[in-house]
Amino acid sequence: MNAYDEYMKGIVMPMRQELVGAGFTELMTAEDVNEHMSNAKGTSLVVINSICGCAAGLARPAVIEALQAVEAKPEHLVTVFAGQEKEATAQLRNYFEEVAPSSPSIAVLKDGELAHFISREQIEGYPMEQIRDHLAQALEQVSAQ
């Protein structure tokens, strides 16, 4: 690992821990993604994490608060870190090619199929509470299906 990679690894650690501490499992490789997707029965909440400010101030806090607010908790909480685990992120995006790549972004999957997607354009510039409520509503709707 070169000095840049080592530096970036240290920088993103607290950004990873924010989701891991809330119960998310990191998918670090393309194989991790494939394994999750092949076994993901029920609802999966997938966060494509990012180093940007809108991930830090909006996406991650909105996801954590939405999970605290909803009755219907997803069976699976997983995350990939865009720009860090490039192969895992690319592989995950292959499972929902109908939406443009976006980070940060939030996907709700039902039995491995994309049920709802919140792109960066629906995160950046919006109040955290609005993103939280958007996600909470999507989680409730998907679980009711």
Strands (E), the chain: 25-26, 43-49, 76-81, 105-110, 113-118
CA–CA separation, 106 and 116 (whole Å): 8
Active site residue 107: no
Across residues 55-70, what is the average pLDDT?
Answer: 96
From 19, 54, 59, 88, active-site residue: 54
Q: Chain-wide mean pLDDT for the chain?
A: 94
* pLDDT score at 72: 86
Tell whether the model's pLDDT for residue 1 goes beyond 80: no
Domain ranges of the chain: 23-144
* pLDDT score at 41: 92
CA–CA separation, 29 and 8 (whole Å): 18
- The predicted model scores a pTM of 0.94
- So what CATH class is 23-144? alpha beta
Tell whether the model's pLDDT for residue 5 goes beyond 90: no
Active site residue 41: no
Tell whether the model's pLDDT for residue 70 goes beyond 90: yes
